[in-house]
Structure 1
């Protein structure tokens, strides 16, 4: 039986270069620690030979934003918000960028939601919009899979959003200097068909605004994750409705950030 070795690595072409003494992105890896960590090129491995874990697998806080694209608000028949709609997920929801999305036996309306994830790199409270991006470690891709019939059991959304083993995130953390998000495209592809297609310029609440708003009531810590909302095209609002089924393949891609592809599998009861 092979032993599991957990490492944090820097992408170098088709290889990962380990960073000394680091085992995961999280509370112990603020921006300065990652920047100052010793690279171990002699221990590099092929990306194809490793299993990529979820970004920040033990995140202290995963704060999600609902209704952050105008077209999605219109398809949901809601009013334009003046304050971000926020709800939590938990670290147990996160899975890796190639792991199977598990469909729970209790739910029949599992829906896709392609989103940009923001990973926090510096601890602070009451961050100004002007300083907000200084607290970002980087960006990643996420699929905020939602069990719709559970989401709408009450006017709170948590019970539809926080299922275990449902939320793929990855494949990498792209640092702010590596990508221009001003108008980066975001797409979700289900079984080869593009079902969501937008770009990040349409975010109603910008990344700095979200960081400032959230940090007003809670301290953001390294490894915390903010999911910034999904564009129009969700399955629940289609006619006919379109939900995830056993055997489906769903991809979320964001220009300059990466893509994740996951198979959908029914969870054993």
Structure 2
């Protein structure tokens, strides 16, 4: 079942199941009308995913009702609601760094023989989150904007000090996440470190990522949340990222599977939760999949795609599409009214 959070007319938010024709089934309304679950359940996506086995049982009842044709009174036509991210405002977004198989990280860490000893990760601002089909806003002073398409895990149970064996038991479902970066900000905020070693003085550039990756609209999540029970083999999921220009010309910049990444989803969760507690609704982005051979991620610049779009496709998950709006010099990228309305009520 494909799930997301939708904003209906009047700003009302509902957890919906998305059908093949993109019609939407209001799960709370159907639950109340058909007496499928607890009164008022689910209030929102967090209420659903933190319910544990109740979520699985409830979604099974909902699917049976839909298959039996009992959902018509609770179905909204395609295009009647605005998609938000499945979790519109996660408490935190934890991102695994340099996890793709063909990363050049071995040039940065030669003493590890080209393999980092553990996943590296950073935090991305929850205020950067937007949903499927919402616009990514780019300002000229940002410089090049680098796109990275990733799969992400949506946490369903509080998680601390997980093991490889139990890590995925704490995941409610998966989605796609765009990790977009204003690379110039990272360089502007960077600090050159001079570190003494037995071989002399080595120079390192420390590039803080908070401003570069925390820009509003730079973390779309979606299009749907797919329950983990529907995706038993995460390693086989293939993810591609396409840049689409204003004329519809398509350029594939990433193509790889989750199984090809340096660290598995379980290994990432083990490292993160060693010292950091993950809460229900938190998002863990697993890092970029492989770039297309001969094309580096830094070759791609979203600032060159005004009136175009970026599309992330994950097998078994769906396609997350976001139009790109680039302001001319001197213009302000004030957020569209719909985005402001969502921010005010988040």
TM-score relative to the length of structure 1: 0.89
Partner of 1:125: 160
1:25 to 40, 45, 69: 45
Cα distance change of structure 1 residues 266 and 27 upon mapping to structure 2, 3 Å threshold: farther
Cα distance change of structure 1 residues 231 and 239 upon mapping to structure 2, 3 Å threshold: closer
1:78 to 108, 126, 140: 108
Cα distance change of structure 1 residues 51 and 251 upon mapping to structure 2, 3 Å threshold: same
Between stretches 200-209 and 30-39, larger displacement belongs to: 30-39
Equivalenced residues, count: 265
CA distance in 2, matches of 1:27, 1:126: 24
2:124 to 77, 89, 94: 89
Q: What's the secondary structure of 1:17's corresponding residue? A: strand
Cα distance change of structure 1 residues 266 and 239 upon mapping to structure 2, 3 Å threshold: closer
Partner of 1:228: 286
Partner of 1:242: 300
2:89 to 53, 58, 62: 58
1:25-83 Cα shifts (integer Å, max 9, x gaps): 23774143544658593212134322110121121111011110120235x94333212
The yes-or-no answer on 1:69 pairing with 2:103 is: no
CA distance in 1, matches of 2:298, 2:171: 39
Map 1:49-198 onto structure 2 (within 5 A).
49-73=80-104, 77-79=107-109, 80-152=115-187, 153-154=189-190, 155=206, 156-179=208-231, 180-191=233-244, 192-198=250-256
Cα distance change of structure 1 residues 134 and 239 upon mapping to structure 2, 3 Å threshold: closer
CA distance in 2, matches of 1:171, 1:72: 27
List gaps (5 residues or longer) in structure 2: 1-8, 29-39, 66-70, 110-114, 191-205, 245-249, 334-346
List gaps (5 residues or longer) in structure 1: none
**Structure with greater Cα Rg:** 2
What is the Cα deviation at residue 98 of structure 1? 0.8
Cα distance change of structure 1 residues 248 and 77 upon mapping to structure 2, 3 Å threshold: farther
Partner of 2:323: 263
Map 1:203-214 onto structure 2 (within 5 A).
203-214=261-272
1:44 to 40, 61, 75: 75
Partner of 2:312: 252
Q: What's the secondary structure of 2:14's corresponding residue? A: coil
CA distance in 1, matches of 2:258, 2:311: 17
What is the Cα deviation at residue 16 of structure 1? 2.3
Cα distance change of structure 1 residues 157 and 77 upon mapping to structure 2, 3 Å threshold: farther
Q: CA RMSD in A?
A: 2.4
CA distance in 2, matches of 1:77, 1:142: 27
Partner of 2:36: none
Q: Is the 8 A contact 1:151 1:160 kept in 2?
A: yes
CA distance in 1, matches of 2:290, 2:313: 15
Q: Is the 8 A contact 1:26 1:59 kept in 2?
A: no
Cα distance change of structure 1 residues 172 and 31 upon mapping to structure 2, 3 Å threshold: farther
